[in-house]
């Protein structure tokens, strides 16, 4: 599962270069250290061969959600992405990249749950595999929402949690966005991160409070002796 993540340096020029953004965009994005479900998040989409950077609401609300509202779907399991009705249409037609530089998970210990921040060793940008949906509400408002795809954990993550978000290798991000990509080829991309691709470190309990969103969230936990 992935329930919180970070984008601590959302510099527009950096994002444009890293993700090959073609279309002009404007936003005033502050550093985020505690991105949570229902937040507006940055996402890269392919629109007629042009890469666009925009914002989506985190928590997928597919079209059928309008008739029978439920809890927004923040994660989509890779194993059922092509067959689960809530996800299958978005998987076939509306895929996206969700920029991040880390995510949180909670490791179960005898003393309770320990927050852990997982990132690349160099703490640089990466992309979650995402899907998105368009929903027109009864009042005419149009909501574009997204979900992060999750998969089985790699060896490191297995010690922390039984799921992990799909972090795409940069070399296959274009395939994920390609509208004409074969579904079987896409599903083959949705495995766990390679060994050594990620590192984990314990952080303090500030991340448990969604109202807190500063660099102190990445500080190590206070140890009392």
Give the active site residues: 2, 105
Quick check: 102 and 164 in contact, CB under 8 A?
A: no
Taking only Cα atoms into account, the Rg of the chain, rounded to an integer number of angstroms, comes to: 17
Q: How far apart are CA 145 and CA 87, in angstroms?
A: 12
Beta-carbon neighbour count of residue 75 at 10 Å? 18
Strands 102-109 and 126-136: unpaired
- Give CA 160 to chain center in angstroms: 18
Q: Is 159 exposed, middle or buried (0-12, 13-18, 19+ CB in 10 A)?
A: exposed
- Give CA 4 to chain center in angstroms: 9
Q: How far apart are CA 123 and CA 135, in angstroms?
A: 34
């Amino acid at each position: 599962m992935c329930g919180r993540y970070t984008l601590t340096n959302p510099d527009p020029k950096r994002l444009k270069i890293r993700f090959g953004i073609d279309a002009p965009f404007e936003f005033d994005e502050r550093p985020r250290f505690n991105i949570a479900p229902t937040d507006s998040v940055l996402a890269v989409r392919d629109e007629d061969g042009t890469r666009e950077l925009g914002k989506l609401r985190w928590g997928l609300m597919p079209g059928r959600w309008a008739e029978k509202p439920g809890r927004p779907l923040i994660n989509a399991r890779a194993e059922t992405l092509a067959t689960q009705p809530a996800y299958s249409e978005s998987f076939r037609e509306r895929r996206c990249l969700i920029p991040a530089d880390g995510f949180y998970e909670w490791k179960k210990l005898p003393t309770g749950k320990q927050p852990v921040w997982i990132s690349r060793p160099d703490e640089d940008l990466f992309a979650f595999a995402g899907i998105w949906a368009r929903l027109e509400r009864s009042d005419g408002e149009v909501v574009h929402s997204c979900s992060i795809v999750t998969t089985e954990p790699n060896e490191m993550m297995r010690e922390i949690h039984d799921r992990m978000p799909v972090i795409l290798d940069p070399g296959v991000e274009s395939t994920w966005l390609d509208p004409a990509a074969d579904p079987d080829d896409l599903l083959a991309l949705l495995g766990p991160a390679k060994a050594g691709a990620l590192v984990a470190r314990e952080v303090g309990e500030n991340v448990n409070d969604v109202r807190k969103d500063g660099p102190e969230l990445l500080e190590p936990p206070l140890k009392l002796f």
